[in-house]
Amino acid sequence: MAARASDTAILSAKPRKKPRIIVSKILMTLFFVMLAVAFVFPLYWMVISSLRPEGRIFVDAFDVFPSVLSLDSYRTLFEEEPFGRWMLNSVLQTGGFAITALFLCTTGGYALAKFRFRGRNLLFVLILVSQMIPFHLLIVSLFLMIIQLGMVESYWGAIIPIAASPIGIFFVRQYMLSIDDELLNAARVDGANEYQIFWSIVLPNARPAIATLFILFSLEYWNNLLWPLIVFRQAENMPLAVGVSRLVNQYRAQYDLVMAGSTLATIPIILLFLFLRRQVMEGLAATGTGMK
Partner 1 sequence: MLKPVYTILNNKKVVPFVFLLPFMTVFLIFKVYPVITAVIMSFQNFQGIQSQEWVGLTNYQNVFDLVRFNQALTNTTAYTLGTLLVLIPLPLILAVLLDSGRVVQSTVFRTLLFLPALTSLVVTGTIFRLMLAENGFINLFLEATLGVRPLRWLEIADLALPSLIVVATWRWTGINILYFNSGLVNIPRELYEAATIDGANVFQLFWSITLPLLRPTTLFVVVLSIIGGYQVFVEPFIVYNGGGGPGDSALSMALLIYRTAFTSFNFGTAAAMGVILAAIIFVFSLIQFRFFGVFRQED
On the CB side of 286, how many CA atoms lie within 13 Å of its CA? 20
Answer yes or no whether residue 249 interacts with partner 1 by CB under 8 A.
yes
CA distance 22 to 30: 12
Question: Residues 13 to 42: which contact partner 1 by CB under 8 A?
Answer: 13-15, 21, 24-25, 28-29, 32, 35-36, 39-40, 42
- The Cα–Cα gap between 95 and 159 comes to 10
| CA pair distance 152, 146, nearest whole angstrom | 6
Q: Could you say which of 99, 179, 201, 269 contacts partner 1 (CB under 8 A)? A: 269
**Binds partner 1 by CB under 8 A, chosen from 65, 79, 136, 190:** 136
Is 51 an interacting residue with respect to partner 1 (CB under 8 A)? no
One residue of 79, 204, 234, 292 binding partner 1 per CB under 8 A:
292
Smallest distance, partner 1 to C-beta of residue 99, A: 12
Residue 154 as a binder of partner 1 (CB under 8 A): the answer is no
Q: Count CB-CB contacts under 10 A for residue 236.
A: 11
Size of the site for partner 1 (CB under 8 A): 109
Among 77, 169, 176, 213, which residue interacts with partner 1 (rule: CB under 8 A)?
Answer: 169
Whether the CB-CB separation of 142 and 161 falls below 8 Å is answered with yes
Give the nearer residue to partner 1 in terms of CB position, either 79 or 134.
134
Q: Which of 54, 57, 208, 237 binds partner 1 (CB under 8 A)?
A: 57
Q: Does 71 bind partner 1 (CB under 8 A)?
A: no
Closest distance between partner 1 and the C-beta of residue 2, in Å? 8
Amino acid at 39: F
Angle between helices 207-223 and 83-114 (to 10 degrees): 140
Which residue, among 91, 13, 4, has the nearest Cα to 269 in the 3D structure?
91
